[in-house]
Amino acid sequence: MTMAACPGCVAAGPAAERAARRAGLPTHELILPTIHCSACISAVERLLNARPEIAAARVNLSRKRVAITAQVGLDPTPWITALTAIGFEAHEARATIAAQGNDGLTLRLGIAGFAMMNVMLLSIAVWSGASDSTRDFFHWIAATISLPAAIYCADPFFRSAWSALKAARLNMDVPIALAIILACGLSLYETMTGGAHAYFDAALSLTFFLLVGRVLETRMRSAARSAAADLAALEPNRVTRIDGDTRVSCPVDEIVTGDMLWLAAGCRVPVDGVLTSPVAQVDRSALTGESDATEVRAGAVLTAGDVLLSGPVTLRTSVDAKGSTLRRLVYLAALAEGARSRYTSLATKAAGIYAPLVHGLALAAFLGWSFATADLYHALTIAIATLIITCPCALGLAVPAVATVATGRLFRMGILVKSETALERLAEVDTVVFDKTGTLSDSGLVPPAEMPDGPRRVLKALAQASQHPLSRSVLGALADVQATDLDGIQEHRGKGVCACCAGRPVALGNGAWLGLGTGTWVQVGDAAYLLERRERAVPDAMPALSALHAMGLDIHMLTGDTHAHATRMAADLPVDHVHAEVDPEAKQKLIRDLQAQGRRVVMVGDGLNDTLALTQAWASIAPGTALEASQNAADVVLLGQQLSGIPTVLRIARSARRRILENFALAAGYNCTAIPLALMGFATPLMAALAMSSSSITVTLNALRTK
């Protein structure tokens, strides 16, 4: 699979231009340890995509990284400088892997909690009746504890807010930082003037609960697990390269096309290549979901991520490390996790107008209460509570949290979501259109009806001994047959397999090799039988289509094959409509016509002739065995050729949409309830901090329900 432009992208227009801009693999990756919301994503992508040397930039919030597509070898320093100028710390990914921590949030949380509890004890003494010099003494002790703790523990909010203000913009940390500063400043003023009230406990409680929310958000994102991170973890850091007569250990990034690698048994293939050893046993379950080991021979293609069960073996690489299948899958998974559906756009726009709205409400609360009561202290307290309680954290988390959980879950089921808006579109489909040949059906060999039992037992034994897909396809028709014992088994690549059975020569292979003419034959002594080649439904076609019917979906089958073949196949499957003898343009027109009738179509296909239909459909899915062009055109790739994954994709997409809408409802309900309470003076700064953190945690927990 590559990110080269697919044939379906040849259509003119803005969509083709966007596809062309995304066509290249990312050449640079930057770590952004301080980003934490949709407003951050929008600001970073807007800055980088505006630079002429950058073709595309995409932020992944869960991994706190931005993938940049530009000319290979460009110095990223100007991009880092530009990001720093608008308030975002940035590092090169390879150089600073350790920078992906939580910015000391856990330590700050512990200090804030310890300081808060001690100041609370002092506050209890004041609330219990301490007055005059005793009260002032306790206030000064509280100030001594609170001010250093607040300065250190709230540093992430202060830095983010200051960076935004320097760049003449607002973010959600501006009202937070302002609230903490005002609470501490007001309390210090009261202490210096001998006032009766100080709110150091509220300032520390605010800081503590904000940090609780931030830490929990970070940990919940980790619990959701990134599919891109799972994929990246499959790649070894170092490999053994053969240089002449010596073996040298080197970083995987140094591997280029044509290098010879030495791979031990049990290791993971680091880069795509061709096996040069005679034979190897390979486990491909990590990428395809196939549980059975596969035996491959010299000349076979091995894919990055495969596990060698035998060895050592040698491999000649066919691509550079940066172009391996595993790296491309990492990029596609990261792209999907940065889902940018219209829901995300709505959240980003809402968060963009939220900060000035919050400041306006806080200012209105201060002026209104000052005018109504002439009590500046009380008015300032209400303004601080308003600043805190209206933080748009929940709104910013509504979509990214759900997207990360859903795509991660699907990947671990062998389903790669590679389009940015696939989940949203898949949740809305009501019609499924299947290509027939290669998707719903494959070709297999069956023995002739008149073939005796003895030769059938020999045929099954020969088919089991062969690695050729066509030879093994006959096993489906021999499920009830007991294989006989063979001696001296030999497989001749591209020709067939031969052996001895009770002293008689037996063979299975093409007729030219056996001297029997065309077709595939089994020879048992002097007798020979021609095997018939028939089209059949793939094993999981029936349960997959039945599940789709149960979900209320309308099912179409289209093919370039004859009406007779199409009708015969449809008779064995729960298909509602059959379209035969259609060429690629006709397939695309059929999809267009269905959608013109108001249908939302998901197209499932694997061939080059399906590419136009895949790009035309509202959403598209390709099997893992599909041609490269079809995989590039599809929104979802079934890594293991399992049609049963299609109902799973649609169910999880519908679940994800429900979680997103629920998150928006939760965020809207919280704000509709909390803002009036704050403006009316019923919420203290401490209560506001608790409410805001609870809303963020609730949204993230709801997203995890998708898992």
Among 92-106, 174-188, 481-495, 559-573, where is mean pLDDT lowest?
A: 92-106
Residue pair 703/402 in contact by the 8 Å Cβ criterion = yes
φ, ψ of residue 553 in degrees (nearest 5): -95, 145
Across 173-184, average pLDDT: 81
Q: What is the pLDDT of residue 470?
A: 72
User: Taking the alpha carbons of 262, 265, 269, 270 in that order, is the dihedral positive or negative?
Assistant: negative
**Location of structure tokens 């298909």:** 575
Is pLDDT above 50 for 387? yes
Q: What is the pLDDT of residue 661?
A: 84
- Would you state the CATH architecture of domain 236-323? Distorted Sandwich (2.70)
Exposure string for 608-628, b = 16+ CB within 10 A, e = fewer: bbbbbbbbbbbbbbbbbbbbe
Across 625-651, average pLDDT: 80
Q: What is the pLDDT of residue 397?
A: 65
pLDDT band at 71 (very low <50, low <70, confident <90, very high): confident
φ, ψ of residue 606 in degrees (nearest 5): -130, -10
Q: What is the pLDDT of residue 13?
A: 39
Percentage, residues of the chain above pLDDT 90: 17
User: Taking the alpha carbons of 647, 652, 655, 661 in that order, is the dihedral positive or negative?
Assistant: negative
Residue pair 666/441 in contact by the 8 Å Cβ criterion = no
Residue pair 25/3 in contact by the 8 Å Cβ criterion = yes
CA 694 and chain centroid, separation: 26
Helix intervals (H) in 64-199: 77-85, 105-127, 132-153, 155-166, 173-192
Tokens describing residue 416: 């790669």
Annotation marks residue 435 as catalytic: yes
| CA separation for the pair 252, 236 (Å, rounded) | 7
The model's pLDDT over 653-704, given as tens digits with 9 standing for 90+, comes to 999 888 888 888 887 788 788 888 888 888 877 677 677 777 777 877 887 7
Q: Which of 435, 606, 610, 635 is catalytic?
A: 435
Q: Count how many Cα atoms sit within 13 Å of the Cα of residue 301 in the half-sphere of its side chain.
A: 6
Q: What is the pLDDT of residue 5?
A: 34
pLDDT band at 568 (very low <50, low <70, confident <90, very high): confident
Q: What is the pLDDT of residue 101?
A: 47
Q: What is the pLDDT of residue 102?
A: 55
Multiple choice CATH, 23-101, 3.30.70.100, 3.40.50.920, 3.30.930.10, 3.30.360.10: 3.30.70.100
Residue pair 649/621 in contact by the 8 Å Cβ criterion = yes
Tokens describing residue 70: 């530009």
Give the contacts of 270 (CB within 8 A, at least 6 positions apart): 235, 236, 239, 252, 255, 261, 304, 321, 324
pLDDT band at 274 (very low <50, low <70, confident <90, very high): very high
Is pLDDT above 60 for 339? no
CATH topology of domain 443-537: Calcium-transporting ATPase, cytoplasmic domain N (3.40.1110)
Percentage, residues of the chain above pLDDT 70: 83
Is pLDDT above 60 for 343? no
* pLDDT mean across residues, the chain: 80
Residue pair 485/466 in contact by the 8 Å Cβ criterion = no
Q: Is the pTM of this model over 0.85?
A: no
The model's pLDDT over 32-43, given as tens digits with 9 standing for 90+, comes to 877 776 677 888
Tokens describing residue 243: 């240089």
Q: What is the pLDDT of residue 259?
A: 93
Multiple choice CATH, 415-440+540-641, 1.20.120.530, 3.40.50.10860, 3.20.20.70, 3.40.50.1000: 3.40.50.1000
Same fold across 23-101 and 236-323: no
* DSSP conformational letter for 7: G
Is pLDDT above 90 for 431? yes
DSSP 451-486: --HHHHHHHHHHHHH---HHHHGGGGGGTTPPPPP-
Across 389-400, average pLDDT: 67
The model's pLDDT over 135-176, given as tens digits with 9 standing for 90+, comes to 888 889 988 998 999 999 989 888 888 888 888 777 767 777
Q: What is the pLDDT of residue 6?
A: 35
Show me where the domains of the chain are located: 23-101, 105-224, 226-232+325-414+646-707, 236-323, 415-440+540-641, 443-537
